[in-house]
Amino acid sequence: MAVYTDVTAEDLSAHLSRYDIGELLSFKGIAEGVENSNFLLHATAGTFILTLYEKRVDPADLPFFVGLMEHLAARGLTCPQPVKMRSGETLGELAGRPAAIVTFLEGMWIRRPQVHHCAAVGKALAELHLAGEGFAIRRPNALSVPGWRPLYERARDRADTVANGLAATIAGELDHCERNWPKNLPAGVIHADLFNDNVFFLQNRLSGLIDFYFACNDILAYDLAICLNAWCFSPDYEFDFAKGSAMIAAYQAVRLLSHAEKAALPLLARGSALRFLLTRLVDWLNVPPGAVVTPKDPLEYLKKLRFHQKVGSPTEYGLA
């Protein structure tokens, strides 16, 4: 649930006068996003999302995020499209925060994805990777391999309170990833957080991708590995071969994986599992007193990591 900043009708109406989207009809703070305040707006020109960027977001990153959505939408990807002010700018200020208005995407996220959902995500991910080409601004991935050890160090002393031997497991995996992480795979703009709740479907058709606030430049196949982890495990965390092969096949129908990318997939999947294990573990160990948001279970990603550690060949993910 995320409405950290109070916005008045009076201030928002005045803010909208900078845009060509007509009069404000209504706005509601919505329980979406964790880092920012989001409002659903009805204006005479349609429905929009207003985002106020809160202090957890570095203002220096905003041109990347907003520019990327503009870049992707211009290339036909169905993602929120930033609305320009009459001045031509997409980033404004409201209630003392940087603010952007983007188009609203109809659709709902799917709690229990089926094989065809996973295929749709694979296709959309490859389209995103192609659409990202030529985007001028760069943003390194703060949560790639060099970012993992500091997370581990924050969690190390208390990791074993969550699961016996967890600190040692992470330490070993971290060493393995640091030593073996691939250096020369195709890279570009990745979403880096394409979980269920960031993909909308309408009548079983993918209707849009949202939440580009982890997007960055990194290995493209690493993004696919994140999606395999996020979408292709059963509720009891067994890898679902049908989902994995459907996702990979749909991805490759749009963008073929190179031999090197295929060979790296098990390692990228391990790294991706480790990344979410680490961030969830740190969140789990640092729940602020009185928090209303239940942190996500880090052990889900320990189980996924253990699966990937045993994978001998990328064909085990369904690679044809």
Residues lying near a copy of itself in the complex (CB under 8 A) are found at 1, 3, 8-10, 12-13, 23-32, 40, 42, 47, 104-112, 200-203, 289-292
Residue 284 to residue 281: CA distance in whole angstroms = 5
Q: Which is nearer to a copy of itself, 142 or 291 (CB)?
A: 291
> Burial level of 17, CB count in 10 A (0-12/13-18/19+)?
exposed
Residue 69 to residue 74: CA distance in whole angstroms = 8
Q: Which is nearer to a copy of itself, 94 or 192 (CB)?
A: 94
On whether the CB atoms of residues 124 and 178 are closer than 8 A, the answer is no
Q: In angstroms, what is the minimal distance from the CB of 106 to a copy of itself?
A: 4
Q: In angstroms, what is the minimal distance from the CB of 148 to a copy of itself?
A: 31
Q: Which is nearer to a copy of itself, 174 or 199 (CB)?
A: 199
Helix (H, G, I), strand (E, B) or coil at 72: helix
The two three-digit tokens of residue 188, written as one number: 């570009």
Q: In angstroms, what is the minimal distance from the CB of 174 to a copy of itself?
A: 34
Q: In angstroms, what is the minimal distance from the CB of 26 to a copy of itself?
A: 5
Place of tokens 């220096």: 60
Q: Which is nearer to a copy of itself, 16 or 221 (CB)?
A: 16
Q: In angstroms, what is the minimal distance from the CB of 269 to a copy of itself?
A: 27
Q: What is the CA radius of gyration of the chain?
A: 20
Q: Which is nearer to a copy of itself, 40 or 254 (CB)?
A: 40
Cα four-point dihedral sign 104, 109, 114, 119 = positive
